[in-house]
Amino acid sequence: MKLKELFEMAQPRNVDLEKDYYHGFSKESNLKGILEHGLQAPDLSNRKGYLKPVEGKVYITPQLKYAMIYCIGGDMAGHEMSKNSLKEDGRYGFLTVVNGHQLADLQPDEDSIGEMIADKKFSWLNSLADYYLAASTVKKVMDGEYQYFAKAGKVLVKRLSDKDKLALIDAGAHIAHGGKLIPKEIWKFDKTLCKELNKDGSNFFKLAERIK
C-alpha cells in the first residue's frame, strides 16, 4: 500500500462497525447487479461537473431518511409521486442495509463537508475552507449553492486528518467508502405509497417488502 493511500484512509472504530448503513437507488435496472455483485463504485466515465462522485467510492449513510430520498428519487416522503416520475424511474425503488462490520476505509461525503462549511458547524473547517479554497468558491458555498458543497468537499477531504474525517462523520456526515459492500438486506418500495411514508422513515419497513 502506498503512503498516499494510507494518509487518505480513515479506519473505522467500534462505534462505526456496530451501526447499520443504508444506500438507496430508484431504478430497478440497478437491482440485478447489486444482487449479484453487491454495492460497487459506479462507472463515472460519462459523469462530469462538480457533482460527479469521487472515484472508487460507494456512498452510504447511517440516516434512513436520507437514503429514502435516493430510493424514491426525490424528497417526496408524505407527498404523492407524479405520474411523470413514476414513468421515468419506474414504480419501485430499493433500499439496501449494510452491516457496519464490513467497513474498512471511510471518509465523509464531500457534499456533507460543504454543507457543514455553510452551516459553520466547525470553526476549524471554515478556517481550512478560507485557506485552501478560492474566495469565490467559499462565497458560493455560504450562499447555499449545492454543487459548490461538492466542489469544496472534494478539495478539503484531501486536507483532513483521520481525526478530522471521523469528527465530521460523528457530526452526521454521510460516508464515502472505499471498496465493495455486500448488503445484508434489500427492500423494495412501491413509490405509489409515498404519501403514506413518514418523513423520518419510521414506517418505511412496514410499507416496503424485503426481497433479500
48 φ, ψ (degrees, to nearest 5): -135, 170
Show the CA angle centred on residue 168, arms to residues 164 and 171, nearest 5°: 140
pLDDT digits (tens, 9 = 90+) for 184-201: 999 999 999 999 999 999
Clarify whether residues 88 and 142 are in a common domain: no
pTM confidence score:
0.91
pLDDT digits (tens, 9 = 90+) for 19-65: 999 999 999 999 999 999 999 998 888 888 887 888 899 999 999 99
The answer as to whether 5 is a domain residue is: no
pLDDT digits (tens, 9 = 90+) for 75-126: 999 999 999 989 999 999 999 999 999 999 899 999 999 999 999 999 999 9
Clarify whether residues 40 and 81 are in a common domain: yes
Clarify whether residues 38 and 55 are in a common domain: yes
Domain that holds residue 66: 11-108+180-212
Clarify whether residues 87 and 53 are in a common domain: yes
Tally of domains within the chain:
2
The answer as to whether 51 is a domain residue is: yes
The strand ranges marked E within 74-183 are 92-99, 106-108, 175-178
Confidence of residue 207 (pLDDT cuts 50, 70, 90): very high
The DSSP annotation for 100-125 comes to GGG---EEE-HHHHHHHHHTT--HHH
